[in-house]
Homo-oligomer: A and B are copies of this chain.
């Protein structure tokens, strides 16, 4: 008597990706409910089962669904927004400003739907995400029928879905509680990267991951800049830095790993952590090429990811897999590196292992969830096929197949695509939504302050975001010398170092609301005898507004950018064509101090035009909580020196005082 099943895929070559990598030339797969019940020769399965539905896969290959081990799915709505730029320009000049403005729950839901449609069309059945509003991402993925690890981003900066990392952590906790145990969705904690984390933030993230036994998704060693920065700041590379806080006690998914040292690979291996290799993204934004063959030889679990479309610009895992194989050969000088069979394994079973889902997906074996794709191998670009060795099927899949050859897709027993028609998503509707959203972003980018930003970026190099978030206060005082004496004599103040400068600033002011200003600064650094030591020229964009006001006068300012000005002031004037130009000249005595063990910068400025003296106190900050504490500290600083009540403080920039 035959057993009833729901679906029988039959009449195709099956690449099982099981332990012995069996390839079945004329095979079939039986599916009941959400799982695979049998894999074997077509004849045998036909005799054994009575399927409710038979899918004839003639001319095709049946493979485990592809695993996209690292992505940011809602960014699909930012595809092709800005390319061929330096990382800092791309990130700070385009992606972050647009995200700040547009990333809402709706954006994340629609972006996930768009990405899901593209991923299903390309044979991806599982993805591992890291973004904001992961609750909406999980909703959209579950509705589309995809398997996903959804990692809520934790950052030391404010994020589109959180004013501070404390908010992100509490969002993440509720998110985990809501989704844990879902048949398709695995919630996760995603501290963004070592360089965007504070130790406290990291420790809280790890605790959360361990408390709920959910994966921890993080960018690791993506750039040399990151590794060098870590060495300079902490005296060690990123993996040991992360390890000291216990990060590898969690089920880690480390994205990129381009610049991992061998000792770091050992740490990841010992921890059973996965690495998500993202070849397109690493090339496109010039991070380099990850030593995947090396990682594999050490026994690491490696998967392949598309990263977000903003740095790719698509979600094509077959292309990504081919590129992974090509790069290991071409860049590391051995054409036998990452052969096709191993590359296909990274895209399936090894990818599943890397994201800690190999108990559910990644291979075609009885008992696993039915995450199955059928790829048509009859296209002319796939012709001919050789059969003298079983391995040639992997060659065809990796080196010749296209994502558009994927014909049917099933996840967890549910068909998501049949004969290239999506069954859980409406393409036309999605297309219209995405086009409408892109139009809004187009308008924003055409009119934003970013006009200045782009122009600034277009003429300089080495743009760095300065004072990314800064808490600051300013007040007028009667005498610079009195102020200095008071600081020198105060027991809670320690002066670390100081300098004296004449600063000649030109502000380019524009008519349009909210455009910000361009500041050109000639910074004459003086010796003790008043002679000029050196002159620095910088040009920068000054944001238009305070982000937040504390205590009536202490303000949190937002990102500013500045870069060395290697052209004349005349050039910049003609280039930016400001409505007005305002000159501010001042004598500045700058002090790096600590006050109650916190680093502050104190500027004592005498304006040339009025002779008025101002004290400006500043400190960098990363989280809302930290900003509040520092706002209070700035109040205490003024009180300690008995200068100016809050109501007497100056709220304006110098450019608005002259």
Contacts and interface: CB of A to CB of B under 8 A. Distances in A.
A71 interface: no
A286 B327 CA distance: 9
B283 A330 contact: yes
B395 A80 contact: yes
Interface stretch (A175-183, A331-339, A532-540, A574-582): A331-339
Interface string A84-123: 1111001000000000000000000000001001100110
A289 B323 CA distance: 13
A17 B146 CA distance: 41
Contacts of A399: 80, 83, 284, 312-314
B84 A336 contact: yes
Interface in A620-653: none
Contacts of A86: 334-336
A388 B84 contact: no
A219 to B, nearest CB: 17
Interface string A19-38: 00000000000000000000
A81 B286 contact: no
Given A312-B399, A335-B85, A399-B312, A288 B330 contact: yes
Contact of A402 (B80, B339, B385, B402): B402
Grouping DSSP codes into helix (H, G, I), strand (E, B) and loop, the A interface class, with mixed when no group exceeds half, is helix
A52 interface: no
B284 A329 contact: yes
Contact of A90 (B335, B340, B382): B335
Nearest to A121: B380
A50 B118 CA distance: 41
A430 interface: yes
Contacts of A315: 381
A427 B381 CA distance: 11
B329 A381 contact: no
With a 10 A CB-CB cut-off, give which of A80, A323, A392 has the most chain B CB atoms.
Answer: A80
A565 interface: no
A384 B445 contact: no
Complex copy number for this chain? 2
B380 A430 contact: yes
Contacts of A423: none
Contacts of A430: 380, 383
A435 interface: yes
Contact of A381 (B316, B323, B330): B316
B326 A438 contact: no
A404 interface: yes
Given A86-B336, A335-B84, A402-B404, A383 B431 contact: yes
A492 interface: no
Interface string A394-416: 01100110111000000000000
Interface string A353-384: 00000000000000000000000001011111
Contacts of A435: 383-385
Contacts of A118: 380-381
A437 interface: yes
Contacts of A385: 80, 435, 438
B384 A79 contact: yes
A337 B387 CA distance: 41
Given A313-B395, A386-B441, A396-B80, A331 B380 contact: no
A384 B438 contact: yes
Contacts of A396: 80, 313
28 contacts: A79-B400, A84-B329, A84-B336, A84-B340, A117-B380, A118-B381, A121-B381, A283-B327, A283-B330, A284-B326, A284-B399, A285-B335, A286-B330, A286-B333, A289-B330, A289-B331, A309-B400, A313-B399, A316-B402, A331-B331, A380-B427, A383-B431, A383-B434, A383-B435, A384-B434, A386-B441, A388-B442, A402-B402
Interface of A: 77, 79-81, 83-87, 90, 114, 117-118, 121-122, 280, 282-289, 309, 312-316, 319, 323, 325-327, 329-331, 333-337, 339-340, 378, 380-388, 392, 395-396, 399-400, 402-404, 427, 430-431, 434-435, 437-438, 441-442, 445-446
